[in-house]
Amino acid sequence: MKPEDLLHPLPTETPKLTLNCPLLDRLLRGGIPCGTITEIAAESGIGKTQISLQLLLAAQLPTSCGGLSASSLCLHSEFPFPFRRLHQLSLFYQSHIPNNALDRIFIQPLHSPDHLLDLLPRLDSIVSQLNIRLIVIDSIAALFRSEFDNTPLELKRRSSMFFKIASKLKSQAQKFGLAVVVTNQVMDVIESSGNLRIGNSGVLCSSGRRVCPALGLSWANCVNIRLFLWREEERVDEEGGDIRSMLTKRFIRVVFAPHLPDCSCEFVIKREGVFGVDR
C-alpha cells in the first residue's frame, strides 16, 4: 500500500446474494458474497443442487430484497439437469420478479475439465451482454471423476487445472462483481493402521460416516468459502406403542470463510425451497 492510497475512501461492503431465507442469510451474515468462490460440499441427495437452484432464482430479486437484479448462469455436469424442479421453484418468485424468471437463467452443460477451461475465457463477453451476476458450477467433482489416473504425474496435471480454473473464476468474480458457487461431492475418510487420515478436512460426518470434500487439498486451496451439508438420522418413538421411525435432519455448516466463524444451522427442503430451522 502506498501513502496516497490512505486518502482514498474505504470500499463499501461486499454485495451479497440472499439465500431467500432469513435464518440461512443470518448464518452467512447476509448471504453468498460477490467477488469470491463459495463451495457447497455434500453427499448426494442432501440439498446442494436445491440450494443452487434457489440461488439461480434469488439472483433476479431486486437489491432491496437481497438479490442482485441480474441474470444467472448454471454450468452443469450432473445429468439430467432438474428443469422440472427449477420451474416449480420459480412459481414462488413470481410476486417479486416481474417477468418469467426462467428467461434470465442460462444453462450450459459441461462434459470435461478441458471443456470448462475452453469456456471460461468466453464468459467475459457473455457476462457483460446478459447482465450475469451469479455463476453456478454443479458439480466440479463430476468433471474430474474419471479424467485422471492416480499417478503423481496425473495428480500434478489435475492440480494445475484446478489452479487455472480457480484463477480465471476469481478474476471474473472480482472484475464483474460475480458470486461464484461451486458444488462438490464428498468421499469417505480412510484411516491407515498408523491413524493417518487421507483427506483435507477435520472431522466431518454425514449419514453416520466420516467424510471429507472430494478433490483433496489442492482444490480446497482454490475456494474462498467452504460450506458443508450433512444429514443425521434420529429415531422417533411413536406414542402409545413400540413402533419407531427414523427422522432425517439436514444441517449446513461453515467449515471455513475469511469473514465467518465455524457455525451451523439445521435446514429443511420444502416444495417452496430450502429454509433454515430455528431451534
The CATH number given to whatever domain includes residue 144 is: 3.40.50.300
54 contacts: CB under 8 Å, gap ≥ 6: 19, 20, 89, 273, 274
pLDDT at 186: 96
Q: What is the percent of the chain with per-residue pLDDT over 90, rounded to a whole number?
A: 76
> What separation in angstroms does the CA of 225 have from each of 39, 212, 244?
6, 15, 39
* Cα–Cα distance for residue pair 132/177, rounded to 1 Å: 9
Does the structure show a pLDDT above 60 at 61? yes
Task: Show the CA angle centred on residue 44, arms to residues 41 and 45, nearest 5°.
Answer: 110
Does the structure show a pLDDT above 50 at 254? yes
Q: By CB neighbour count within 10 A (0-12 exposed, 13-18 middle, 19+ buried), where does 44 fall?
A: exposed
Residue 225 belongs to a domain: yes
pLDDT at 246: 81
Residue 234 belongs to a domain: yes
pLDDT at 51: 98
Q: Give the max Cα distance, the chain.
A: 75
Does the structure show a pLDDT above 90 at 244? no
State the average pLDDT for the chain.
Answer: 90
pLDDT at 197: 45
Residue 6 belongs to a domain: no
167 contacts: CB under 8 Å, gap ≥ 6: none
Residue 195 belongs to a domain: yes
Q: Are 91 and 58 a contacting pair, CB within 8 Å? A: no
Grid cell 460477490 is found at 34
Residue 101 belongs to a domain: yes
**With bands split at pLDDT 50, 70 and 90, how would you rate the model's confidence at 77?**
very high
Per-residue pLDDT reduced to its tens digit, 185-230: 999 987 654 444 444 456 799 999 999 999 999 999 999 999 999 9
Over residues 158-187, mean pLDDT: 97
| Cell (9 digits) for 19 | 439465500
For residue 217, the enclosing domain spans 13-277
Least confident residue range of 17-21, 92-96, 174-178, 201-205: 201-205
Residue 5 belongs to a domain: no
Domain count, the chain: 1
Q: Are 269 and 50 a contacting pair, CB within 8 Å? A: yes
Q: Which of 135, 186, 188, 141 is nearest to 162 (CA)?
A: 141
pLDDT at 273: 97
Q: What is the pTM of this model?
A: 0.90
* Cα–Cα distance for residue pair 90/58, rounded to 1 Å: 10
